[in-house]
């Protein structure tokens, strides 16, 4: 595909150069009898020059469209990189949650042991009810 675009580009540029050279050559006025023939040649060169320019613009538009729509490899690489990055973030969050769960479980176990051994859990020696909890 790239080779075809290069070939078309070379052909269009070569056509532009040839027609411009021909237009400049024909624009010289040599003899009055050749004026009508030179006018016709000038018109042909100018038309061909415009056609080559339009072909070149069409080629540029095709290249832009092809690059935009057919760059699947680049798009896939970007999607894969983003997906991998998000997976790594998910793994980091999962690891953080696991550590947090184990820390909370250890703290809760420690608090339960502390409560079980506290004076708030056991009745007072004089038989009165447990003192009220502070707000």
Whether the pLDDT of residue 105 is over 90: the answer is yes
Chain mean position to CA 88: 20
Report pLDDT digits (tens) over 107-126: 999 988 888 887 766 555 55
Burial class (CB in 10 A: 0-12, 13-18, 19+), 45: buried
Burial class (CB in 10 A: 0-12, 13-18, 19+), 5: middle
| Total-model pTM | 0.41
pLDDT at residue 133, as a whole number: 55
> Who wins on pLDDT, 125 or 32?
32
> Who wins on pLDDT, 99 or 35?
99
Report pLDDT digits (tens) over 41-67: 888 888 888 888 898 899 888 888 887
pLDDT at residue 98, as a whole number: 95
- pLDDT > 90: percent of the chain: 23
> Who wins on pLDDT, 107 or 135?
107
Report pLDDT digits (tens) over 56-95: 899 888 888 887 777 777 778 888 999 999 999 999 999 9
- pLDDT > 70: percent of the chain: 82
b/e burial code for range 60-76 (CB count within 10 A of at least 16 → b): eeeeeeeeeeeeeeeee
pLDDT at residue 97, as a whole number: 94
Q: Report domain extents, the chain.
A: 2-70, 72-121
């Amino acid at each position: 595909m790239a080779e075809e675009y290069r070939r078309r580009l070379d052909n269009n540029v070569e056509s532009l150069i040839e027609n411009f050279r021909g237009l400049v050559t024909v624009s010289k006025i040599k003899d009055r009898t050749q004026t009508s023939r030179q006018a016709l040649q000038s018109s042909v060169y100018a038309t061909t020059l415009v056609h080559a320019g339009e072909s070149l613009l069409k080629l540029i538009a095709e290249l832009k469209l092809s690059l935009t729509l057919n760059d699947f490899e680049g798009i896939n690489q970007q999607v894969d990189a983003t997906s991998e990055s998000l997976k790594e973030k998910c793994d980091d969050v999962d690891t953080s949650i696991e550590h947090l769960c184990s820390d909370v479980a250890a703290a809760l176990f420690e608090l339960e042991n502390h409560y079980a051994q506290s004076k708030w859990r056991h009745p007072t020696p004089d038989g009165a009810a447990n003192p009220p909890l502070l707000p």
